[in-house]
Amino acid sequence: MRKGIDVSDNQGRIGWNRVKEAGCRFAVLRSVRRSGRPDHQFEANVSGCRENGIPFEVYKYTCASVPSRAAEEAEQVVSLLAKYGLTCRVWWDVEDRALAGLGRGVLTGLIRSARNTVEGAGLEFGLYTGLAFYEAGYFDVSAFGCPYWIARYPSSAYFDFGQAPPPESGRPQIPQRLAAWQYTGKGRIAGIAGNVDLNVCYLPFGEKAEESRPGEG
């Protein structure tokens, strides 16, 4: 079991050397903001992970309500990764409450549009959502054979990164491949001021991103 974090510019400037020293084994970086522009700290976070040997992948919080917009969001992520020579997995973050009212078939189709764009670019695709959103059936969770990263918070307490995660009894139970469990949004780790999401992962993270550094072969 490996522990890691997911971050965006909400965490500000991160001291990745201190994050590494704290024992972080992987990171998931927000790629593109709702505006379609890169996360304000994306370049700094990529550099920080690379310099400190932290495997990383990226996520995109989707707000798309029509297929063309979902494909456009995905293409923005694909273009950003190409700019930095990255071939890491893209996690499609499906949790916005506005998506819940679109209908099961519509939302499932939107996710397919994003997946097709990401996979069409030769990248791996994964789904992130909260367990309650997953269980509500807002989209057809069985329609996707990709790994799932599920948020479930068994405790409202703050967690220091050095603490053990909650017991495995709190781990989300789903029939699909569970790649990672986000177990708190109230984590604390050296190098980050304020709260950060903490995760445990069960599948390899970030290897392709590490392999794709410019100048390496």
Q: In 3D, which of 55, 43, 53 has the Cα closest to residue 14? A: 43
* Contact (Cβ atoms closer than 8 angstroms) between residue 4 and residue 28: yes
Residue 110, CA distances (Å) to 15, 69, 140, 144 in order: 36, 9, 11, 12
Whether 208 shows a pLDDT value over 70: the answer reads: no
Partners of 148 in the beta sheet?
127, 178
pLDDT of residue 1: 77
Ordered structural domains, the chain, with CATH? 2-211 (3.20.20.80)
CA dist., res. 109 & res. 116, Å (int): 10
CA dist., res. 160 & res. 143, Å (int): 36
- Structure token digits, residue 113: 């549009």
Specify the 3-state DSSP secondary structure of 136: helix
The one-letter amino acid at 96: D
pTM summary value:
0.94
59-73 residue pLDDT tens: 999 999 999 999 999
Residue 196, CA distances (Å) to 13, 28, 59, 67, 189 in order: 13, 12, 15, 31, 8
Whether 207 shows a pLDDT value over 90: the answer reads: no
pLDDT of residue 203: 87
CA dist., res. 45 & res. 13, Å (int): 8
116-126 residue pLDDT tens: 999 999 999 99
- Structure token digits, residue 169: 């009894």
Partners of 60 in the beta sheet?
92
CA dist., res. 159 & res. 99, Å (int): 30
Helix axes 67-83, 104-120, angle to 10 degrees: 30
